[in-house]
């Protein structure tokens, strides 16, 4: 799931940007969530500090309290992967942005062909984020793009006949079978049960006696069978 974080202090601009984003996402059947702000407040900074994957920031350069350039600098101190797109009503501020090594994707004037330029910036954003280590699953009209490192384990829901992909931030239920998804994963993933595949890079401890696997986010699963326990060498 993509997370789009938008900050602009002008209500009409916010509404216009949201409309453009919704139009693009729905047309391309992309799963996403919006976080909308009119200033760089504490709630905004909590998103910056969070471990949400696939962040696309759309930042107003000028707000009542802070500059979007300063915010982008703070983002880049800890996050080199998220996409940053700047918005402004003042074209001359582009020079200031270019002088800062912020690795931003696009600089868009709110009043000059904004929809076309933002739509193209969104397309480029997805191209960039797709190049990271991800799994892409088509499920009906929905497309799920999940960072492999965010996955803790995958399990089979026999009742709903779905595969559940458990991540740090949510779980995804998809129609594709566990075995088919297994073929899409890399070698960090191991089968621990006929109904479970685990991201071994996220495992911190395996309780062999009680057959419990513990992950680095303090969660666990008991989907560890004798057969696969031997194959794992535990």
β 189-193/196-199 pair status: antiparallel
- b/e for 95-130, b at 16 or more Cβ within 10 A? eebeeeebebbbbbbbeeebeebbeebbeebbeebe
pTM of the model: 0.59
pLDDT of residue 213: 95
Structural domains present in the chain: 2-130 (3.40.50.2300), 143-232 (2.40.50.1020)
Identify the band that residue 98 occupies on the pLDDT scale cut at 50, 70 and 90.
very low
| Distance in angstroms (rounded) separating the CA atoms of residues 76 and 30 | 26
pLDDT tens sequence across 112-142: 888 998 999 898 888 777 666 778 888 888 8
- pLDDT > 90: percent of the chain: 47
């Amino acid at each position: 799931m993509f997370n789009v974080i938008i900050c602009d202090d002008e209500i009409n601009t916010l509404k216009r940007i949201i409309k453009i984003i919704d139009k693009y996402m729905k047309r391309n059947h992309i799963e996403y969530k919006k976080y909308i702000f009119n200033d760089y407040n504490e709630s905004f900074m909590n998103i910056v500090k969070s471990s949400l994957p696939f962040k696309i920031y759309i930042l107003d350069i000028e707000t009542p309290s802070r500059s979007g350039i300063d915010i982008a600098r703070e983002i880049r101190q800890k996050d080199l992967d998220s996409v940053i797109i700047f918005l402004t009503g003042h074209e001359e501020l582009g020079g200031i942005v270019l002088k800062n090594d912020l690795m931003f994707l696009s600089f868009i004037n709110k009043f000059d062909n904004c929809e076309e330029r933002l739509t193209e910036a969104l397309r480029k954003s997805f191209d960039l984020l797709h190049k990271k280590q991800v799994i892409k699953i088509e499920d009906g009209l929905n497309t799920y793009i999940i960072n492999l490192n965010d996955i803790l384990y995958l399990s089979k829901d026999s009742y709903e006949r779905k595969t559940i992909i458990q991540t740090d931030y949510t779980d995804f239920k998809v129609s594709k079978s566990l075995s088919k998804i297994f073929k899409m994963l890399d070698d960090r993933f191991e089968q621990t049960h006929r109904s479970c595949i685990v991201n071994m890079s996220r495992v911190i401890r395996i309780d062999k006696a009680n057959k419990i696997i513990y992950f680095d986010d303090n969660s666990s699963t008991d989907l560890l069978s004798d057969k696969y326990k031997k194959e794992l060498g535990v």
